Amino acid sequence: MILKSFEIKKINLNVTRLILFYGKNEGLKNEALEILIKNKNNISNYDEKEVLDNENNFIENILSKSLFEQNKIIVIKRATDKILKIIETLHLKNLEDITVILNSDNLEKKSKLRSIFEKDKKLICVPFYPDNDQTLSKLAYSFLKDKKISISPSNLNLIVNKCSGDRENLINELKKIEYFTKNGKKIDSENLSKLINLSENHSISELIDNCLAKNKKKIIGILNENNFNNEDCIMITRSFLIKAKKLLALSKEFESNKNIDLTISSAKPPIFWKEKEITKQQIYKWKPKNIKELIYKLSETELLIKKNINNSINLITDFILGQSSSETNS
């Protein structure tokens, strides 16, 4: 059965046991997933490869019942037609107290997985199509109004255009603006331009890339050459987080196919040719489990910076130098 993305709240996890999310709109998928699992404690996350490599154990664990594991939610990322057999097995078992949510990339019409979820009334299929500028404008306007942040229509359009139809990018840009205005600062065209271009700032991008590639000498040079301020530090952690998540996806792909050139060439969105070599270095340096730890530490560092804003330069410097020195590919 097909539901629209705005109908997510109609899904009852006490009744629906198998759900498929698919499409390129990662930001909207993340929002929908957060709505579904809000206030739920018993959640397990898997990658499709993990499930396929341990098929029998996975099915056995799902079907095992425990008084201490009521209303279990299983989220399987990067799901493709390869998992179809497992899903069919689970569907025949009439699951109780368990909901499996498949989070897939774009599935073509000929996909057997998509077809089963669309046609079976006991299953739910939700496509997530890219947002248009009108939708993103409404989202941005609602966010800024809720935060009581005043901004001109032309500057609102500037933000939306910068995000190129990507909801996740838009939310990141809006959070930068929210943080900037917390101390009573006003948003005008000049400081807005600086804020929304910060993630593309050559020095910051170079700093993060070299940290992930563990080029410590280069990092020290960038830190010495640039006069980053306290407000930049939150922006650096946000930009770092975006790059870390992209690297995690690449690292998982490389772990699966063992082909670095294929991993780079099949990346979505495509990797700019100037960044391919350093991206290869990063993939070789980091394993998925270490990147997950990095993402957790980034969130911790951001909280520390917010609590100790006057010491933020030292905090971000220590974090970056620490990560560039750590052993991660083991």
Pairing label, strands 43-47, 72-77: parallel
pLDDT tens string, the chain, 330 residues long: the values are: 999 988 998 998 888 899 999 988 888 888 899 888 887 777 888 888 889 988 888 888 777 765 445 678 889 988 999 999 999 988 988 787 888 999 998 888 999 999 999 999 999 999 998 888 888 999 999 999 998 888 888 888 878 877 767 787 788 788 878 877 877 777 777 777 666 654 445 578 889 999 999 998 889 988 887 777 777 788 788 889 888 988 999 999 999 889 999 999 888 777 878 789 999 999 999 999 999 999 999 989 988 988 888 888 899 999 999 998 877 665
What sign does the dihedral 326-328-329-330 (CA atoms) show? positive
Coil, strand, or helix at residue 272? Answer: coil
pTM here is 0.57
Kindly list the structural domains of the chain, giving each domain's residue range(s) and its CATH number in brackets, ordered by start: 5-127 (3.40.50.300), 133-177 (no CATH), 199-325 (1.20.272.10)
Question: Can you tell me the distance from the alpha carbon of 91 to that of 59, in angstroms, rounded to the nearest whole number?
Answer: 11
What DSSP state is assigned to residue 213? T
Give me the residues paired with residue 138 across strands.
none
Coil, strand, or helix at residue 12? Answer: coil
CB proximity list for 223: less than 8 A, separation 6 or greater: 207, 317, 320
